[in-house]
Amino acid sequence: MTNPMMQSLYKKPALEPDWEEARRFHGHLGPWLALGMKIGQEAMTVLSARPHFGTRVHVRCRLAPPVSCLVDGLQWMTGATYGKRNLIAEEAETVHIRVEHVETGTAVVFRLVPGAPEAMGRWMGEIGDEPASYHVFDRPADELYTTEVVPGRSTE
């Protein structure tokens, strides 16, 4: 019999998050994980890309927790992974995420709005990690980040 945890890892990423599976994958829930999940969800919706192999994810951010936890959220929602080399993370002072459809070249670029990191830190302190996760995920996107669609190759 296959391990249930391994079975869940091979499911198609859902457009709605499975919080318990995300918790098992990452170890706990937190607002930066939720932010990565929210961005990953939006990217997959906009791009209509095949999960796991249909996207390339390039993340620039602080490569230390809690900020780097967003990488796990992106991995969870897109299926892109470091081992397949379709998820790359680089050290940077500000968060910049590019999710690209491998077949069309169309990409979605996400940048945090001023004050978003501070707000997430404040929510963690005021209501705790797990409630802050749900709070981040339920916030309107434009309160947390900007989204830019970059056209890819013409299919004509």
Residue ranges of domains in the chain, CATH in brackets: 41-111+126-156 (3.30.1330.130)
Q: Distance (Å, rounded) from C-alpha 105 to C-alpha 64?
A: 29
pLDDT at 25: 92
Cα torsion for 27, 29, 33, 35, to the nearest 10°?
170
pLDDT at 61: 98
Tell me the HSE value of 140 on the side-chain side, using a 13 A CA sphere: 2
pLDDT at 8: 42
pLDDT at 63: 97
Q: Please state whether the peptide bond connecting residue 140 to the residue before it is cis, i.e. omega within 30 degrees of 0.
A: no
Angular region, 13: left φ>0, alpha ψ -120 to 50, beta rest: beta
pLDDT at 153: 75
Report the predicted TM-score, pTM, of the whole model to 2 decimal places: 0.88
Distance set, CA 101 to CA 10, 37, 66, 146 (Å): 20, 17, 27, 19
First to last CA, the chain: 47
pLDDT at 15: 56
Q: Distance (Å, rounded) from C-alpha 70 to C-alpha 48?
A: 21
* Residues in the chain with pLDDT values less than 50: 1-14
